[in-house]
Amino acid sequence: MPGVLATIRSIYGSLPEAERRVAEFVMRNAEVAPQRSVHEYAQGAKVSVASVSRFVRRAGYAHFRDFKLQLARETSTAVAGLYRAITPKDSDVEIVRKVFRGNIRSLEDTLEILCILDLVRAAKAICGSSRLVLFGMGGSGIVAHDAALRFSYLDFQAEAYADASEILLQALRVTAKDVVVGISHSGRSSITVEGLEMARERSALTIGLSNYPRSPLRDASDLFFCTAFPESRVKVAALSSRVAQLCLLDALYLVVARHKEHLWDVERVNALTERMLRLPARAPRRR
């Protein structure tokens, strides 16, 4: 089971207001929270005891005692290095360190909640598909285009679409032999979600990638993968979650490469690409 703090960060954006306050209380007081009673949780978060109980269940624990025990085990190691939100008072050095620590933590937490068996299932489905189609808007569209180019190196018909009308049109063209991937940090991009829903109606296998496990994108996905970027009031998460998105897609790409029966001569493709993109070396000038 994923760690307590990783789980809290992954579900934070989908929590009701009262339970979100409990989550914030736990993350602010991670070192001492295991020693606090349920009434102290409620008082510290300014919510009812019932809200604390609902939060604990939503985090995957049947009892408050089990929740605190797991949190105690997790925080027995140093918690000082946890990512903290960027603030206007931070120095340049602090901002740089927080960005790196946030991304490192995001990758660690994403790996912790990742179901590798589902990733392998997705890879095998892509290997058997006729066409790989990726949808994403804004920054997620950039990630989709990067992934489509990468899968093309494996001799796949891989395409990415980041325009609303193109997403809807392509969703109407997919078949049961295709795999469709929707990428959305929030999991609530209406065009991406609708594109996946339409693709599923046409019997294509749908794969979702979001930072929120409880989102409309998950409901539209046959297989779903969640990143775990720690949110903050400074909205850098939509940008920085791309690191975890790219890492997940890199892992998927390499597992696909391992299972694909016939691959292109990758070295030949690399040589042709380098010849097209790089100028030949010039001989040194004589003085």
The pTM assigned to this predicted structure is 0.70
Quickly tell me which residue has 């032999």 as its tokens. 177
Question: Do residues 240 and 130 both lie within one domain?
Answer: yes
List Cβ<8 Å contacts ≥24 apart for 96-103: 99/236, 99/240, 102/229, 102/230, 102/236, 102/240, 103/240, 103/243, 103/244
Domain interval for residue 122: 112-270
Burial string for 53-82 (b: 16+ CB within 10 Å, else e) reads: bbbbebbebeebeebbebbeeebeeeeeeb
CATH number of the CATH domain containing 23: 1.10.10.10
**CA atoms 267, 272, 278, 280: torsion sign:** positive
- For the chain, the farthest-separated pair of C-alpha atoms sits apart, in whole angstroms, at 84
Question: Do residues 120 and 259 both lie within one domain?
Answer: yes
Extract the runs of DSSP E, i.e. beta strands, from 190-256: 205-210, 223-226
Question: Do residues 46 and 117 both lie within one domain?
Answer: no
268: confidence class by pLDDT, cuts 50, 70, 90: low
Q: Say if residues 180 and 133 touch (Cβ distance below 8 Å).
A: yes
pLDDT at 218 over 50: yes
Q: What is the pLDDT of residues 79-110, one digit of tens each?
A: 444 455 677 788 899 888 888 887 887 888 78
User: Please, which residues have CB within 8 angstroms of residue 149's CB and are 6 or more apart in sequence?
Assistant: 158, 160
User: Please, which residues have CB within 8 angstroms of residue 171's CB and are 6 or more apart in sequence?
Assistant: 135, 180, 194, 195, 196, 198, 199, 202
Q: What is the percent of the chain with per-residue pLDDT over 70, rounded to a whole number?
A: 82
CATH number of the CATH domain containing 138: 3.40.50.10490
Q: How far apart are CA 18 and CA 61, in angstroms?
A: 18
Work out the average pLDDT over 174-201.
95
Question: Do residues 121 and 219 both lie within one domain?
Answer: yes
Q: How far apart are CA 168 and CA 193, in angstroms?
A: 10
Q: Cα separations (Å) of 233 from 24, 53, 238?
A: 12, 25, 12
113: confidence class by pLDDT, cuts 50, 70, 90: confident
Q: How far apart are CA 234 and CA 92, in angstroms?
A: 16
For the chain, the average pLDDT equals 84
The reply to whether 287 falls in a domain is no
For residue 229, what are its two tokens? Answer: 């970027």
Question: Do residues 246 and 155 both lie within one domain?
Answer: yes
Q: Say if residues 35 and 90 touch (Cβ distance below 8 Å).
A: no
Question: Do residues 140 and 261 both lie within one domain?
Answer: yes
Question: Do residues 136 and 252 both lie within one domain?
Answer: yes
H/E element holding 38? helix 38-45
**CA atoms 44, 50, 54, 59: torsion sign:** positive
Residue 136 or 269, more confident: 136
56: confidence class by pLDDT, cuts 50, 70, 90: very high
Work out the average pLDDT over 111-116.
84
pLDDT at 78 over 60: no
Question: Do residues 56 and 164 both lie within one domain?
Answer: no
Work out the average pLDDT over 258-267.
71
What is the number of domains present in the chain?
A: 2
Q: How far apart are CA 57 and CA 40, in angstroms?
A: 18
Please tell me the predicted confidence (pLDDT) of residue 265.
Answer: 62
At 210 the three-state DSSP class reads strand
Q: How far apart are CA 102 and CA 90, in angstroms?
A: 15
Please tell me the predicted confidence (pLDDT) of residue 146.
Answer: 94
Residue 79 or 120, more confident: 120
Question: Do residues 119 and 221 both lie within one domain?
Answer: yes
The reply to whether 285 falls in a domain is no
